[in-house]
Amino acid sequence: MPSAMRLLDVAPTSDVATAAGKESGGEAAMRLGERGALEPAHQDYFPFAALVGQDELRNALLIAAVDSTVGGVLIFGDRGTGKSTAVRALADLLPPIEVVEDCPYACAPRGMTQCPHCSSQPGGRARSVRVPMVDLPLGATEDRILGALDIERALVAGEKVFLPGLLARANRGFLYIDEVNLLEDHLVDLLIDVAASGVNVVERDGISVRHPARFVLVGSGNPEEGELRPQLLDRFGLCVEIETPTEVADRVEIIRRRDAYERDPKAFAEKWRKHSSEIAGTVVAARARLDQVVVPDAIIESCARLCAALGTDGLRGELTLVRAGRALASLQDHPSVGIAHIREVALASLRHRLRRGPLEETGSEARLRRVVAEHLGQ
């Protein structure tokens, strides 16, 4: 009986990688590398360093980039406020990762989690690729997301070959869902299961595959178009609410930069290259020293008292506060987490975890700000 980790009647691994690339890569921004491995396609994104305002959004994305265990970022705001621009700009900023050559799941060369490809062919060579940034379209099918049997190979050659889906491509990267609050319920259920376990399990069409699918989940949407299901909402570590800038000076600067970028993207990116490199270096350094950042017991107690006062469900609020505060302290090169760090991440960590009273509408921001101020100061 074959192991559940292996394909049934699998073609050679290089063929599996090639089969994975047959789908159109536009939605997922992926392409086949020189030797058949999947890697992000090169695109010119608006520089992260050139974003104007939206400090809470930028901090949340950088925190998620430093510590993936924070749980991803949910961005709610008006249309045309740069939500998608900021997310894609972050992916272009991050340093490359080491992957096993020809592996369709982007496994780390010395990682503990092994996919079907790396289990059957250990000792593969390493290569550097850009961090995956995979878009999940609202109209994507279940097969497109999870992966499925390669029908063409099955009909032509009589072989059962697994065609990896978007979750495979997002492994060790970012999975971005625009208009996430409009995602169909059955797709939400799929994402909840995989986001919780970090493993995608496909049992269908005579194939049995388990492969790693650990990614930072990023979603954006307009709250006027519908609310997000509580089960998925709880999976996001940070929730950011952004608004259309009201200061005329900010609006003018945004227009100037966007116009300059669209007229000559390469020249605009070159103008911001130094600043972008500085941010990238800060992220790399923050990742390296993250485990050395101390979280004092008094800080953990303050987080617990704050969440108890707000009546948040479960303990994910405290965990997110601690993790986000530690990542922020690491970004700022502080050896330990202080109250100021917790205060800075409190709104994003807790605004989507509040219990709503029968007469309360979606927003309880005022109560959150008041309780945060009472427990953590202004």
Amino acid at 197: S
- Kind and range of the H or E run holding 219: strand 215-221
Separation CA 240–CA 54 (nearest Å):
10
Separation CA 226–CA 222 (nearest Å):
8
Amino acid at 95: P
Kindly state the tokens that stand for 244: 């259309």
Are 161 and 16 spatial neighbours (Cβ–Cβ below 8 Å)? yes
Count how many Cα atoms sit within 13 Å of the Cα of residue 147 in the half-sphere of its side chain.
Answer: 32
* Structure-token match 């709610």, residue found: 76
Kindly state the tokens that stand for 147: 């992966």
Kindly state the tokens that stand for 336: 């330990």
Are 23 and 143 spatial neighbours (Cβ–Cβ below 8 Å)? no
Separation CA 154–CA 162 (nearest Å):
10
**HEC string for 108-149:** CCCCCCCCHHHHHCCCCCEEEECCCEEECCCCCCHHHHHEEE
Q: How far apart are the first and last CA of the chain?
A: 63
Q: Which of 130, 257, 316, 353 is catalytic?
A: 316
Q: State yes or no: is 316 an active-site residue.
A: yes
Kindly state the tokens that stand for 284: 């790399």
Are 172 and 106 spatial neighbours (Cβ–Cβ below 8 Å)? yes
Parallel, antiparallel or unpaired: strands 30-32 and 38-40: antiparallel
Separation CA 57–CA 78 (nearest Å):
13
* Structure-token match 């060579």, residue found: 125
| Angle at which helices 83-93 and 55-66 cross, to 10° | 40
Active-site positions read 316
